[in-house]
Amino acid sequence: MSEPVYVKIPDRIKEEADLYVKSGYFDNRSELIREALREFLEKLGRNNLEISVGMYLRGEVSLGRAAEIAGVGYEKMKEILAERKIPIRRGPETVGEAEEEYKRFKEIL
Mean pLDDT by runs of 10 across the 109 residues of the chain is 86 94 94 92 86 93 91 94 93 78 82
pLDDT value of residue 108: 79
Helices and strands counted in the chain (H then E):
5, 0
Task: Give pLDDT, residue 103.
Answer: 87
CA-based radius of gyration for the chain:
21
Q: What local confidence, expressed as pLDDT, does residue 45 receive?
A: 76
The pLDDT score that the predictor gives to residue 19 is 95
Q: Which residues have C-beta within 8 Å of that of residue 14, sequence separation ≥ 6?
A: 29
Q: Yes or no: say if 16 and 29 are a contact pair by the CB < 8 Å rule.
A: no
3-class DSSP assignment, residue 99? helix
The whole model's pTM is what? 0.52
- pLDDT, residue 83, reads 96
* Cα distances (angstroms) measured from residue 90 to each of 76, 85, 100: 16, 15, 15
Per-residue pLDDT, 89: 86
* Contact of 61 with 52, CB cutoff 8 Å: yes
